[in-house]
Amino acid sequence: MRKSLLVFAVAIFVLGAFVLAQAPGSGPYSVVKTSKVGGDGGWDYVNADPDARRLYIARTARGSMRVTV
């Protein structure tokens, strides 16, 4: 029982590694542009608007909240 569980876990790990190692350009999405989101704080949620072709990033910092588009 223990050996079969170990084999199953290794098989799942190998399958996951195979799925993650697929070619990055094989899906419908691609990286078109990268930019740095500067300032204090960090990001919280990201929302994409495909019709407007915009990416909304909710930002949080001490005492303030803002959205970077």
Distance CA 30, CA 24 (A): 8
Question: Domain locations in the chain?
Answer: 39-69
- Write down the pLDDT at residue 26: 64
pTM, two decimals, is: 0.45
The pLDDT score that the predictor gives to residue 53 is: 85
Q: What is the pLDDT of residues 7-60, one digit of tens each?
A: 777 778 777 776 666 656 666 777 788 877 767 777 777 888 889 888 888 887
Residues 6+ apart with CB under 8 A from 30: 24
